[in-house]
Amino acid sequence: MEGKQAEDKKFKEWEQGEDAKFKGWGWCLLVLLIGAMVAAAAGLTVLKGFNHFKKSSGHHGAINKKYADVLELALQFFDVQKSGKLEKNRIPWRGDSGLQDGWQQGLDLSKGMYDAVNQLGYAQESLKWIIDYLINAHPSPDVLYIQVGDPDVDHNCWQRPETMTEKRPLLQVNTSFPGTDVAAETAAAMASASLVFKKINSSYSNLLLTHAQQLFQFADTYRGSYSESIPQLQKFYNSTGYGDELLWAAAWLYHATGDKLYLKYVTEMNGEEFSNWGNPTWFSWDDKHAGGQVSYHSSQSKTYIRVYVKFCSRINMFGVEGMSTEENLELQMYRETAEAFMCMLLPDSPTATSSRTENGLIRVLKWNSLQYPVASAFLAVLFSDYMVASHIPTLYCSGKFYSPADLRSFALSQADYVLGKNPMEMSFLVGYGEDYPQYVHHRGSSIPVDAKTGCGDGFEWLDSLS
Ligand SMILES: *[C@@H]1O[C@H](CO)[C@@H](O)[C@H](O)[C@H]1NC(C)=O
Ligand SMILES: *[C@@H]1O[C@H](CO)[C@@H](O)[C@H](O)[C@H]1NC(C)=O
Ligand SMILES: *[C@@H]1O[C@H](CO)[C@@H](O)[C@H](O)[C@H]1NC(C)=O
């Protein structure tokens, strides 16, 4: 009994410590956000891919209105987070902010989005908003600005972005202080966005591709993790390595350019070293960081990235002409790892992950816990569509066979849980359903527009119940 009490107490202390660390999410702009944006661009690109599949295979054509509505609602989150001079603003309680960001260096870094975005999104307009910011943050080939604002200062404030008056220092990575991970991830964002804009505005699309190629070159040539180059960032966004971002960027550049060199990069040249083949479990990977302060931040993008990179297998499913045997073998490794990951997700598979709640929601880490089920659901749908598109009827998991429909029903189970099919009958999407969270940890929405609060006195709104 005593042992248990002591353990509970320890857990409580740990939990409070963690809460304290997280309390001060700031209004600092971080390029790490681009993880979410890559996801958004990936989503847009993939959606286009789905349309293609639909036409070619006649596979599940009907759009489910419920999920379409949900998507539209979820997308408002990007509007809520916007920094800069707002255009066509649909959020009544948001206004212009951060207008002078970047002026010290003669840059316009006013656009962008405030930290704490971790959703997938499909809005082209929001995508352009952040991509414009990334263009401005990359003023020359080997310089990338990765942060605007001082997180330490911001964490001591609770205020609306429209009223902040604190200094907004800039932080860059360059050849002497490299940031392979952040530069490669930015390259991936730009490359994937270039696909989205290809038909909409080809000169914009080409501009993005040029930035992407320069950033990839910079990332690959000057190798080092940004949080090693600039240790003060470890407290907030500790990077766990850059190998997967390099693969991720190269994979997107291959899709965007069709240049076989990028394919070689993810197979022959670096596949073995960076991709962690045969080890699809995110939790073994996360375990290393368990208790690490913002592990969930990096793990979100990283899990996503690793898994997606493994999805390079789709190249294999569709076949690449003129590929060497070695390249084919390496792609096969990606594919096997992706399949193993799918087998983990399926709830009754022999290799099903036990990282699940009693009611079947994937649960990996406490922080931002819904990112895992939602990202998993997305990937399961993607994989099932690839199976259909490439006429692969079954997925084999240690003695049992599964169909694309099984993967879809797993994906729906996760989405439905999030939307209210759970023991609390609560929707976790604010604004959706009858019952959803009312007091979200969000500065802009917790403080009334007309409240005259500055940095410190705004905290009364953090704790208030009205
Ligand atoms: C390179 O980046 C570091 C870290 O942000 C910075 O201190 C340094 O001034 C930069 N170098 C140049 C030449 O701007
Ligand atoms: C297309 O992109 C270019 C380059 O960014 C820009 O100057 C131009 O205004 C864009 N055209 C349209 C129609 O948006
Ligand atoms: C950040 O990660 C590195 C490498 O994983 C580790 O050595 C370092 O201690 C971490 N720093 C913090 C503050 O957690």
391 is an active site residue: no
What digits encode the pLDDT tens for the residues 283-315?
222 222 222 222 233 333 344 434 444 444 444
Instruction: Specify the pLDDT at position 326.
Output: 67
Hey, how many other C-beta atoms are within 10 angstroms of the C-beta on 465? 5
Instruction: Specify the pLDDT at position 171.
Output: 93
Q: State the Cα–Cα distance between residues 455 and 413, nearest whole angstrom.
A: 42
Whether ligand 1 lies within 6 angstroms of the CB of 230 is answered as yes
347 against 34, higher pLDDT: 347
Distances in Å between the alpha carbon of 416 and those of 49, 155, 371, 412, 423?
Answer: 24, 35, 14, 6, 12
**In terms of Cα–Cα distance, which of 414, 398, 401, 403 is closest to 351?**
398
Whether ligand 2 lies within 6 angstroms of the CB of 204 is answered as yes
Counting from 1 in the atom list of ligand 3, the atom nearest the Cα of 288 is 5
What digits encode the pLDDT tens for the residues 309-325?
444 444 444 445 566 66
What digits encode the pLDDT tens for the residues 396-405?
999 999 999 9
Note the pTM of the prediction, 2 decimals: 0.76
Looking at all shown ligands, the one closest to residue 146's CA atom is 1
Instruction: Specify the pLDDT at position 55.
Output: 38
Instruction: Specify the pLDDT at position 193.
Output: 92
Instruction: Specify the pLDDT at position 320.
Output: 53
Please give all residues whose beta carbon lies within 6 A of any atom in ligand 3, as ranges: 234-235, 238, 240, 292
Q: Residue 285 corresponds to which tokens in the numbers above?
A: 């990977």
What digits encode the pLDDT tens for the residues 92-143?
777 777 777 777 777 777 776 665 433 434 567 778 888 999 999 999 999 9
What digits encode the pLDDT tens for the residues 53-83?
333 333 444 567 788 787 777 777 777 777 7
- The catalytic position among 52, 289, 391, 441 is 441
261 against 41, higher pLDDT: 261
Instruction: Specify the pLDDT at position 428.
Output: 94
List CB contacts of 7: < 8 A, sequence separation 6 or more: none
Give the confidence band of 236 by pLDDT, cuts at 50, 70, 90. confident
CA angle 184, 257, 340 (to 5 degrees): 65
Counting from 1 in the atom list of ligand 1, the atom nearest the Cα of 173 is 2
Q: State the Cα–Cα distance between residues 160 and 442, nearest whole angstrom.
A: 9
Looking at all shown ligands, the one closest to residue 179's CA atom is 1
- Tell me which range, 48-57, 165-174, 439-448, is most confidently predicted by mean pLDDT: 165-174
CA 99 / ligand 1 centre spacing (Å): 23
Give the confidence band of 457 by pLDDT, cuts at 50, 70, 90. confident
Nearest residue (by CA) to ligand 3, atom 11, is 234
111 against 384, higher pLDDT: 384
Asked if 192 and 41 touch (Cβ cutoff 8 Å), the reply is: yes
Q: State the Cα–Cα distance between residues 43 and 71, nearest whole angstrom.
A: 12
38 against 285, higher pLDDT: 38
Average pLDDT for 271-279: 57
Give the confidence band of 26 by pLDDT, cuts at 50, 70, 90. very low
Whether ligand 1 lies within 6 angstroms of the CB of 174 is answered as yes
Nearest residue (by CA) to ligand 1, atom 12, is 174
197 against 269, higher pLDDT: 197
Alpha helices in 108-257 (DSSP H): 124-136, 151-155, 180-197, 202-221, 226-229, 243-257
Strands 400-402 and 29-30 turn out to be unpaired
Asked if 334 and 316 touch (Cβ cutoff 8 Å), the reply is: yes
395 against 458, higher pLDDT: 395
Q: Above pLDDT 70, what percent of the chain?
A: 70
Q: Which CATH architecture has domain 25-274?
A: Alpha/alpha barrel (1.50)
Give the residue range(s) of CATH 1.50.10.10 domains in the chain.
Answer: 25-274
Whether ligand 2 lies within 6 angstroms of the CB of 207 is answered as yes
CA 100 / ligand 2 centre spacing (Å): 24
What digits encode the pLDDT tens for the residues 420-452?
999 999 999 998 999 999 888 888 888 888 888
